[in-house]
Amino acid sequence: MSEATRDDSEEADPAHGDEFPVPELSERAEACAARLREAGEFLLCSHIDADGLTSAAVATAAFERAGFDFETAFFKQLDADAVASIAATDYDVVCFTDFGSGQLDVIAPHEAAGEFVPVIADHHQPADAETEFHLNPLLEGLDGASELSGAGASYLLARALGDATDTDNRDLAALAVVGAVGDMQDGDGGLSGANEGLVADAVAAGALEEVTDLALYGRQTRPLPKLLEYASDARIPGISNDQAGAVEFLSDLDVPMKDADGEWRRWVDLDADERRTVASALIRRAVSSGVPSERVDSLVATTYVLADEEPGTELRDVSEFSTLLNATARYERADVGLAVCLGDRGEALDRARTLLRNHRRNLSEGLQWVTNEGVEREEHIQWFDAGTRIRETIVGIVAGMAVGADGVSARKPIVAFADKGDDETKVSARGSGFLVRQGLDLSAVMREASRAVGGDGGGHDVAAGATIPADERETFIATVDELVGEQTSGE
Ligand code: C5P
Ligand code: C5P
Ligand code: C5P
Ligand code: ZN
């Protein structure tokens, strides 16, 4: 590098630079932003998970700042009925966030009929159709499963709309990070690829801190022993899923588990020395009990903290925040989650916390049910049918959490079924980075196998879903098994 270039780069202040955070997508973002400006009035539609909610929140904040006149609607799935109901409204322009790409073929006929113009900010595998205003990382060779989420795409749209405001909408980047983590796009090194541009914006805006920390879920809110006991991903013998073991492990360390008032301490209550003591002891225990080195390495990772939120709350840690959001929108209370994202720390937050307790109980009971019942094994996949035991909107989360539990292989994709009512069955499929490198693309599998039985589906290579007629389950399983076999056979 020459002296001149180095000087140039040193002068560029990331907080006020002109650089678009994901340059590959700047033209698409500009085009979408221009179309929304031209419309001025439109409908915003988003998905009901943490990423969909943060997408809607980022978009809502940017649209309000831009002075747009818009209404917001949430959908579980953007199926033919949902798109028809959208087309039936008076809106000429519809902005879709965190979905739309996968349903382009369903949307296209409505667009062609002049019913509405779609403006899409999404990261799902696009269906076989095209449209003019389409912001999706996959269209520019970026990975939609790991590099940019729906909230990230929405953030780029917000940035393209942001010239007129003080912050340029950079303050919204932290919400986009919550969305990306909610879609499990982070690895041990934190977020990567296009997402790094968002992290940089959020940090520069002062809204986000990047911290290398113990990578266990619940650092802000869980009592210390529960933090360790519930860390099922880590699978440390004698600690994970072992209440007495976790307490015993901690009592052997010089770190009090309770404070002066007799309340359980949480990870956030520990000082730096105490954290080091616990983390090192945990690593030593993992190593001495034969935990594979890559899992030991994963005990410490890049984590994200929302700088403006109060320590010790669900809102402080992006991962806990995303769970709080899932607890609202997946239970038909997207309005609550959206209000929390937009800054309501009163009634909406109280309501969200109540919903969170219910969501946690459902996740834990669901996981218990799956591990008790066990999974069925086919040649290339494993599956379970929860019927009405697990709500169809969370069966995918439970499936993901079940991988690696007793009796559930981490080497085969897991396919979960749950009743949807009206003789329809919801399907959720989860794979792994390892399987994707072998050729697995669950998005293609779900789309093809569901369409073959009169359903529909899609998603990402590593995680996808579908809806199928209830009486087609057996045929569907056989097709999925065959397709996964073809993909991963190395041809
Ligand atoms: O609809 P959406 O794209 O937001 O959902 C993505 C889903 O994929 C999430 O439920 C997320 O947990 C899952 N996922 C996963 N493993 C990954 C990436 C995403 O299970 N590596
Ligand atoms: O609910 P959500 O999909 O955001 O959860 C993300 C991950 O956090 C889960 O896959 C799980 O590993 C962890 N989690 C947990 N305990 C909870 C909720 C989530 O360990 N109560
Ligand atoms: O619902 P679930 O969490 O299993 O969804 C996993 C992924 O599959 C999500 O990205 C979701 O948007 C996608 N999906 C889809 N079509 C469906 C069901 C799920 O594209 N019918
Ligand atoms: Zn998403």
Q: Whose CA is nearest to atom 9 of ligand 1?
A: 183
Reported as a single tens digit per residue, the pLDDT across 377-395 is: 999 999 999 999 999 999 9
Instruction: End-to-end CA distance of the chain: give it in Å, rounded.
Output: 43
Instruction: State the pLDDT at residue 6.
Output: 37
Give the mutation target among 124, 136, 393 for probing the ligand 3 site: most ligand atoms within 8 A of CB.
124
Atom of ligand 1 nearest to the CA of 123: 3
| Cα within 13 Å of Cα(221), Cβ side | 18
Q: Is 465 in the pocket of ligand 3 (CB under 6 A)?
A: yes
Quote the ligand 1 centre to 445 CA distance (angstroms): 16
State whether ipTM is beyond 0.90. no
What is the C-alpha to C-alpha distance for residues 256 and 270, in angstroms, rounded to an integer? 9
Per the document, the length of the chain is 491
User: Residues with Cβ < 8 Å from 436, sequence gap 6 or more?
Assistant: 145, 461, 462
| Cβ pair 413, 431 in contact under 8 A | yes
Phi, psi for residue 186 in degrees, rounded to 5: -90, 145
Reported as a single tens digit per residue, the pLDDT across 21-63 is: 999 999 999 999 999 999 999 999 999 999 999 999 999 999 9
pTM of the complete model beyond 0.95: no
| Closest residue by Cα to residue 21 from 161, 205, 195 | 195
Q: Residues lining ligand 2, judged by CB closer than 6 Å?
A: 50, 182, 217, 230, 233, 322-323, 326, 360, 363, 397, 400-401
Beta bridge partners of 45: 73, 96
What is the C-alpha to C-alpha distance for residues 302 and 320, in angstroms, rounded to an integer? 15
pLDDT band at residue 140 under the 50/70/90 scheme: very high
Q: What token pair was written down for 300?
A: 């410490």
Quote the ligand 4 centre to 293 CA distance (angstroms): 31
pLDDT band at residue 491 under the 50/70/90 scheme: low
Neighbours of 153 (CB within 10 A): 35
Quote the ligand 2 centre to 178 CA distance (angstroms): 13
- Alpha-helical (H) ranges within 330-430 are 334-341, 347-373, 395-402
**Mean pLDDT of all residues belonging to the chain:** 93
C-alpha dihedral (293, 317, 360, 147), degrees to nearest 10: -70
Q: Is 464 in the pocket of ligand 3 (CB under 6 A)?
A: yes
pLDDT band at residue 18 under the 50/70/90 scheme: low
Q: Whose CA is nearest to atom 13 of ligand 2?
A: 217
What percentage of the chain reaches a pLDDT higher than 90?
89
The more confident residue out of 367 and 163 is 367
Instruction: State the pLDDT at residue 339.
Output: 98
User: What is the C-alpha R_g of the chain?
Assistant: 23
Range name among 7-16, 121-130, 229-238, 420-429 with the lowest pLDDT average: 7-16
Quote the ligand 4 centre to 21 CA distance (angstroms): 19
What is the C-alpha to C-alpha distance for residues 322 and 53, in angstroms, rounded to an integer? 9
Of all helices (H) and strands (E), which one includes residue 294? helix 293-297
Q: Is 351 in the pocket of ligand 1 (CB under 6 A)?
A: no
Beta bridge partners of 469: 424
Ligand in closest contact with the CA of 362: 2
Instruction: State the pLDDT at residue 302.
Output: 96
Q: What token pair was written down for 22?
A: 């994901």
Most confident of 227-231, 281-285, 293-297: 281-285
Instruction: State the pLDDT at residue 233.
Output: 74
Reported as a single tens digit per residue, the pLDDT across 159-204 is: 999 865 667 999 999 999 999 999 999 988 999 999 999 999 999 9
Q: Which residue has the tokens 């999925």?
A: 480
| Cβ pair 54, 176 in contact under 8 A | yes
What is the C-alpha to C-alpha distance for residues 131 and 119, in angstroms, rounded to an integer? 9
User: Residues with Cβ < 8 Å from 418, sequence gap 6 or more?
Assistant: 385, 386, 387, 388, 389, 390, 391, 392, 395, 425, 426, 428
What is the C-alpha to C-alpha distance for residues 68 and 232, in angstroms, rounded to an integer? 45
Asked whether the predicted pLDDT for residue 316 surpasses 60, the reply is: yes
Phi, psi for residue 387 in degrees, rounded to 5: 55, -120
Quote the ligand 3 centre to 33 CA distance (angstroms): 26
Asked whether the predicted pLDDT for residue 16 surpasses 80, the reply is: no
pLDDT band at residue 9 under the 50/70/90 scheme: very low
Q: Whose CA is nearest to atom 17 of ligand 1?
A: 184
Ligand in closest contact with the CA of 440: 1
- Alpha-helical (H) ranges within 126-194 are 150-161, 173-182
pLDDT band at residue 484 under the 50/70/90 scheme: very high
Ligand in closest contact with the CA of 402: 2
Q: Whose CA is nearest to atom 17 of ligand 2?
A: 360
Reported as a single tens digit per residue, the pLDDT across 67-96 is: 999 999 999 999 999 999 999 999 999 999
Instruction: State the pLDDT at residue 8.
Output: 41
